[in-house]
Amino acid sequence: MNMASADLSLKHFFLGQNAFELNLGGGQRHFWLQALYHRNQTLTSDLEWYWGAGPDVGYWRKGVNVRGNATYSDGFWVGLNGVLGMEYTFDFIPINLALDTGPTLRLVPDVKFGWMAGIAFRYGFR
């Protein structure tokens, strides 16, 4: 199953090393909203690692065409995600690059476990 997609990501820091990330994304036949809490730890002045968790909700639609008889299945999902990643923020331009991975647990409509990974390219507002 190909779940290639893109999303709009907003990350906001509060109380020092704590951050909240909100992702709204989708693909050809699905879209989702994800909220994550991050705890960032400094490695160097430009490089940090982070860990966190949060919920997600989404909608999917899948179509199958067998001999001219199109059938569709669709539905909503609800799940939980864990995240572990690294991010680099450039000093001379307001760009942030991140790479993260982590487990995902779907709770609705079925209980399923998986693993996700992501790459982020962000413009940093100051």
Give the predicted TM-score (pTM) of the model.
Answer: 0.81
Rounded CA-CA distance 42/46 in Å is 8
Rounded CA-CA distance 84/63 in Å is 34
42 lies in a domain? yes
pLDDT tens figures, 10-61: 888 899 899 999 999 998 888 999 999 999 999 998 899 999 999 999 998 8
1 lies in a domain? no
96 lies in a domain? yes
23 lies in a domain? yes
63 lies in a domain? yes
Domain of residue 47, residue span: 7-123
77 lies in a domain? yes
Our count of domains for the chain comes to: 1
Residue 57 sits in a domain of what CATH number? 2.40.160
